[in-house]
Amino acid sequence: MAIPAVIFGGPSDEHDISILTGLQVIRALGEVHGVYWSKTGDWFEVDPGLEATDFVDGVPRRSRELSFVAASGQGLLHKKRPLDIDVAVIACHGGPGEDGTLQGLLDLAGLRYTGPGQASSALGMDKLAFGAAMAAAGLPTLPRAIVSSGEEPAPDFGGPFIVKPRFGGSSIGIELAEDWPTVLALKRGSSYFDQGAVIEPFLIGSRDLQVAVRTYPKWELSAIEAPARAAEGIYSYDQKYLAWGGEVSAGRELPATLDPGVEEQVERLSARVTDAAGLRGIARIDYLEREGEVVVNEVNTIPGSMAAYLWIDPPISREQLFRDMVDEARSGPVRRFSVAGSDGTALRSAGTIASKLG
Amino acid sequence: MPLRALSDGALFAESYGEGPPRVLALHGWGRRGNDFARSLAGFDALAVDLPGFGATPAPSEPIGARGYADLLTPVLDIFDAPPVLLGHSFGGRIAVCLAAANPSRVGPMVVTGTPLLRTAPSKKPSVGYRLIRSLNRVGIVSDGRMEEIRRARGSPDYRAAAGVMRDILVKVVNETYEDEMGRLETRVMLLWGGEDHEVPVEVAEKSLRLIRRSGGSAELEVLPGVGHLVPTQAPDAIARVLEEVMAR
């Protein structure tokens, strides 16, 4: 009988967090294949009853080696026989499990999967493209600029600047720079920016707001959280500036105390982000709010623990959230590739290849 | 606080306050300048990310605290007047070396939780370990296995360090600074956690005596109930001591 396969791990900075998400999903769903994607990119079927500590030293003992064949009717194979999978539940964070790479493989194998499709996954992982897509859809965003050579002229907005790796989903590598020469020096000095950095103005006096959306059985918004600006983040420091990093100065607020206008903006913008970014399943959208004005910051298309802790009003259990996600994928189409237009006409009239090279 | 590039982008520092900086803060191993965020609120200060930590790239060579002090010497040019040097642990080692090498360019010092002296004699590795190490050298024990054994024996800092930073750590933990302490011409405030089990108060007491014996000026304040991480556990105490040394 076909059952879901929960895929977790993967060659990503967030490999370990993904194991925690994956094991939660496995436990909540019950009868599933547990598919562990190792740090080196290898595939294994693991006992669904494993604990997080079983993965501390790498691939757990007695795991069954799998292979992945990206061809129609194939997918995950054990000794050349495909696992009987109806839906792949993707519980990967950051890296190729969230950036569209795995989604593309599953498309090619003709498998249904949870979360957004390949292109939307890639969009969510590219901070420059995501910001541009939101701006093009008419949504409020911060101006963003790319720093790729480290010799660019200063942008037309002033500092201080937030400097982020262009690709990737975690907060690793994010810095706050006082001025433009510092941005360029960071770009040149840090390996986190090898694939380019995006910069945006630092909104002094702003706060983060995070909310989850889900798209099945109907579009829904979770409670809105004002997260603590913790170890890797930013926290309120004094009236003028915000400090970068350091200790937690205040606990997170869930649900956040908000002006009605702010709540209304977050709800309205979240529906539009869902459409413009092609979100599916459960996603988390991050906003910045200052003096009642809300701007779209980033999206996380596969948030840690599927952002289950945000669904408190009305409460939705983890089991329910994960089951709905599976049902959504199960009831959706597989991606079809079209060969229409390639009926041989161009080939028949082509002549020799040598004549093309001329 | 926002980062600022120093020394043509070779170093990064968080900058505090609006005026010209008057304090230079040096953090501990595995930390970054931001550790001083709460201590330095209200001061005009620079808290560097030491090479290999935070935003600053690692040194190319396995240098010790004296080498770090050399890398930081150009930063002293930024200050209009000799800055107050604030150093914690690894940063304290560097602060002492920097002050000893640049006596006229450094103001009073505040040093927290810093192993300036060795208290217990360093243990020689066991016969078994030395045997495994020599078997690794001749290729009988694989490098992978040797690394596992090293990691199992090493401190959390050692296990977390990679590449040149591990060589630097090994070098630094074997250093002491009697010579530098003997040459300090500036006033030194030793601020210690009473519950510091990594660098016990005894180290501070011995350092105090050594500086005074050499004709230097030093004071010790022990903070009851505070552990090793004075910058994050007792930021108010650091701020108070900074106020005091700057007012004098």
Interface test with B, best of A171, A247, A249 (most B CBs within 10 A): A247
CA-based nearest distance A351→chain B, Å: 58
Over residues A41-76, the pLDDT tens digits come to 999 999 999 999 999 989 999 999 999 999 998 999
Mean pLDDT of B101-115: 97
Over residues A341-354, the pLDDT tens digits come to 999 999 999 889 99
Q: Specify whether A304 is located in the same domain as A208.
A: yes
**A161 lies in some domain:** yes
Q: Which stretches of chain A sit within 8 Å of chain B by CB?
A: 159-160, 175-179, 181-182, 184-186, 188-190, 202, 237-238, 241, 243-247
Q: Specify whether B114 is located in the same domain as B229.
A: yes
Residue B168, strand partner residues? none
Q: Which of A180, A202, A224 is at the close of a domain?
A: A202
Rounded to whole angstroms, how far apart are CA atoms A180 and A200?
Answer: 11
Q: What pLDDT does A270 receive?
A: 98
Interface check B233 vs A, CB under 8 A: no
CA-based nearest distance B211→chain A, Å: 33
| A chain contacts of residue B55, beta-carbon cutoff 8 Å | 175, 186, 189-190
**What value does the mean pLDDT of chain A take?**
91
CB count in 10 Å sphere of residue A232: 13
Cα-only R_g, chain B: 19
Position with higher pLDDT, B160 vs A268 = A268
Interface check B2 vs A, CB under 8 A: yes
CA-based nearest distance B45→chain A, Å: 14
Contact call for residues A229 and A236 (beta carbons, < 8 A): yes
Q: Specify whether B191 is located in the same domain as B222.
A: yes
Q: Which member of B1, B5, B57 has the closest CB to residue A243?
A: B1
pLDDT surpassing 60 at residue A271: yes
Closest chain B residue to the Cα of A249, Cα to Cα: B38
CB contact under 8 Å between A245 and B12, yes or no, is: no
CA-based nearest distance B181→chain A, Å: 31
Q: Specify whether B191 is located in the same domain as B223.
A: yes
Q: Specify whether B164 is located in the same domain as B181.
A: no
> How many separate domains does chain A show?
3
Q: Specify whether A121 is located in the same domain as A251.
A: yes
Question: Taking the mean position of all CA atoms in its chain, how far away is CA A197?
Answer: 18
**A178 lies in some domain:** yes
CB contact under 8 Å between A244 and B9, yes or no, is: no
Mean pLDDT of B5-28: 95
CA separation (Å) from B183 to A21, B74, B187? 56, 21, 12
CB contact under 8 Å between B37 and A237, yes or no, is: yes
Interface check B7 vs A, CB under 8 A: no
Q: Specify whether B138 is located in the same domain as B241.
A: no
Q: What pLDDT does A232 receive?
A: 32
pLDDT surpassing 80 at residue A86: yes
Over residues A199-211, the pLDDT tens digits come to 999 988 899 999 9
Closest chain B residue to the Cα of A160, Cα to Cα: B2
CB contact under 8 Å between B57 and A190, yes or no, is: yes
CA-based nearest distance A276→chain B, Å: 33
Q: Specify whether A268 is located in the same domain as A128.
A: yes
pLDDT surpassing 90 at residue B46: yes
Q: Specify whether B192 is located in the same domain as B106.
A: yes
Q: Which of A157, A180, A202 is at the close of a domain?
A: A202
pLDDT surpassing 90 at residue A168: no
Rounded to whole angstroms, how far apart are CA atoms B160 and B162?
Answer: 7
Contact call for residues B18 and B26 (beta carbons, < 8 A): no
Q: Specify whether B165 is located in the same domain as B180.
A: no
Q: Specify whether A120 is located in the same domain as A152.
A: no
Over residues B26-40, the pLDDT tens digits come to 999 999 999 999 999
Q: What pLDDT does A61 receive?
A: 93
Q: What pLDDT does B131 receive?
A: 81
Contact call for residues B94 and B85 (beta carbons, < 8 A): no
Q: Specify whether A89 is located in the same domain as A173.
A: no
| A chain contacts of residue B56, beta-carbon cutoff 8 Å | 189
Q: Specify whether B108 is located in the same domain as B132.
A: no
CB contact under 8 Å between B5 and A188, yes or no, is: no
| A chain contacts of residue B41, beta-carbon cutoff 8 Å | 237-238
Q: Which of A317, A303, A318 is nearest to A24 (CA)?
A: A318
CATH of the domain at A159: 3.30.1490.20
Q: Specify whether A104 is located in the same domain as A123.
A: no
Tokens found for residue A2: 């076909």
pLDDT surpassing 70 at residue B182: yes
Q: What pLDDT does B143 receive?
A: 79
Helices A118-125 and A127-136 sit at what angle, rounded to 10 degrees? 110
CATH of the domain at A84: 3.40.50.20
Q: Which member of A160, A190, A243 has the closest CB to residue B37?
A: A243
Q: What pLDDT does A240 receive?
A: 27
Q: Assign B1 a pLDDT band (cuts: 50, 70, 90).
A: confident
CB count in 10 Å sphere of residue B212: 14
Q: Which member of B4, B14, B55 has the closest CB to residue A179?
A: B4
Interface check B12 vs A, CB under 8 A: yes
Domain housing B164: 127-169
Domain housing A194: 143-202
Q: Specify whether A232 is located in the same domain as A286.
A: yes
| A chain contacts of residue B4, beta-carbon cutoff 8 Å | 177-179, 182
CA-based nearest distance A185→chain B, Å: 5
CB contact under 8 Å between A238 and B41, yes or no, is: yes
Q: What pLDDT does A242 receive?
A: 34
| B chain contacts of residue A179, beta-carbon cutoff 8 Å | 4
Interface check B57 vs A, CB under 8 A: yes
Task: Collapse the DSSP code of B81 into the 3-class scheme (helix H, G, I; strand E, B; otherwise coil) and give the result.
Answer: coil
Closest chain A residue to the Cα of B42, Cα to Cα: A238
Q: Which of A185, A202, A219 is at the close of a domain?
A: A202
Over residues B129-174, the pLDDT tens digits come to 778 888 888 888 887 777 777 777 777 788 778 889 999 999 999 9
Task: Collapse the DSSP code of A339 into the 3-class scheme (helix H, G, I; strand E, B; otherwise coil) and give the result.
Answer: coil
CA-based nearest distance B85→chain A, Å: 21
Q: What pLDDT does A230 receive?
A: 42
Over residues A70-81, the pLDDT tens digits come to 999 899 999 999
Helices A127-136 and A260-277 sit at what angle, rounded to 10 degrees? 110
Residues 6+ apart with CB under 8 A from A62: A47
Q: What pLDDT does A229 receive?
A: 62
pLDDT surpassing 70 at residue A333: yes
Q: Which amino acid is at B222?
A: V
Over residues B73-89, the pLDDT tens digits come to 999 999 999 999 999 99
Q: Specify whether A225 is located in the same domain as A271.
A: yes
Q: Specify whether A128 is located in the same domain as A147.
A: no
> How many separate domains does chain B show?
2
Q: Which of B101, B135, B169 is at the close of a domain?
A: B169
Residue A214, strand partner residues? A220, A282
Rounded to whole angstroms, how far apart are CA atoms B50 and B95?
Answer: 12
**A237 lies in some domain:** yes
Q: What pLDDT does A27 receive?
A: 96
Mean pLDDT of A155-177: 89
Q: Which member of B41, B57, B232 has the closest CB to residue A189?
A: B57
DSSP state at residue A286: E
Interface check B27 vs A, CB under 8 A: no
Interface test with B, best of A164, A192, A239, A244 (most B CBs within 10 A): A244
Contact call for residues A18 and A306 (beta carbons, < 8 A): no
Q: What pLDDT does A247 receive?
A: 33
Interface check B34 vs A, CB under 8 A: yes
Q: Specify whether B80 is located in the same domain as B142.
A: no
CA separation (Å) from B225 to B175, B193, B196, B204? 28, 7, 9, 16
* Percent of chain A residues topping a pLDDT of 70: 94
CA separation (Å) from A338 to A2, A113, A341, A342, A343? 27, 20, 9, 9, 12
CA-based nearest distance A237→chain B, Å: 8
**A216 lies in some domain:** yes
Q: Specify whether B210 is located in the same domain as B142.
A: no
CA-based nearest distance B15→chain A, Å: 8
Q: Specify whether A163 is located in the same domain as A131.
A: no
Q: Specify whether B61 is located in the same domain as B149.
A: no
CA separation (Å) from A181 to A63, A151, A293? 51, 10, 30
Lowest mean pLDDT among A30-39, A139-148, B118-127, B173-182: B118-127
pLDDT surpassing 50 at residue A233: no
**A355 lies in some domain:** no
CB contact under 8 Å between A241 and B1, yes or no, is: yes
pTM greater than the 0.95 cutoff: no
**A338 lies in some domain:** no
pLDDT surpassing 80 at residue B125: no
Q: Specify whether B96 is located in the same domain as B199.
A: yes
Rounded to whole angstroms, how far apart are CA atoms A309 and A148?
Answer: 37
| A chain contacts of residue B14, beta-carbon cutoff 8 Å | 244
* Percent of chain A residues topping a pLDDT of 90: 83
pLDDT surpassing 60 at residue A239: no
Q: Specify whether A255 is located in the same domain as A274.
A: yes
Q: What pLDDT does B158 receive?
A: 82
CA separation (Å) from B213 to A183, B216, B235? 47, 7, 30
| A chain contacts of residue B21, beta-carbon cutoff 8 Å | none
Q: Specify whether A167 is located in the same domain as A53.
A: no
Mean pLDDT of A81-97: 96
